[in-house]
Amino acid sequence: MNITILEKKESPLLKRREVSGEVSFEKATPSNKDLSESLAKQLNTSADLIIVKNIYTRFGQQKAKFLAMAYDNKDAQQFAEKLTSSQKKKLAESKKTEGAQ
């Protein structure tokens, strides 16, 4: 997987960097987790602080465009990002298991 960053914009009020670029790959389109780990290496930050918003692919091509947000810290990420329904479900399940123990 080869990542090329085309644009980086600083957003000091939200304490994040908006990163867009292209990723080229050989087999299947990389998952959000794989892309965030590769971006973390390039941006010298933790993979937990990177949120991949979109991966745009075209049929038959081994390239994709992406949009990601790299936050400065966990508090800024929690302030700006909403929890998805699957994240809420996982959080509720983890609280149940902690309560049972």
Alpha carbon 8 to its chain centroid, in Å, reads 15
Distance from C-alpha of 98 to C-alpha of 76, rounded to nearest angstrom: 26
The residue ranges of DSSP E strands in 16-92, in sequence order, are 16-24, 50-57, 63-71
Write out the two tokens for 46: 């933790």
What is the residue-level pLDDT of the chain in tens, covering all 101 positions? Answer: 899 999 999 999 999 999 999 999 998 999 999 999 999 999 999 999 999 999 999 898 999 999 999 999 999 998 898 887 887 888 888 888 887 77
Fold of 2-100: Alpha-Beta Plaits (3.30.70)
The structural domains of the chain, with segments of one domain joined by +, span: 2-100
- Compute the residue count for the chain: 101
Task: Report yes or no: 53 and 35 within 8 Å, Cβ to Cβ.
Answer: no
pTM (2 d.p.): 0.79
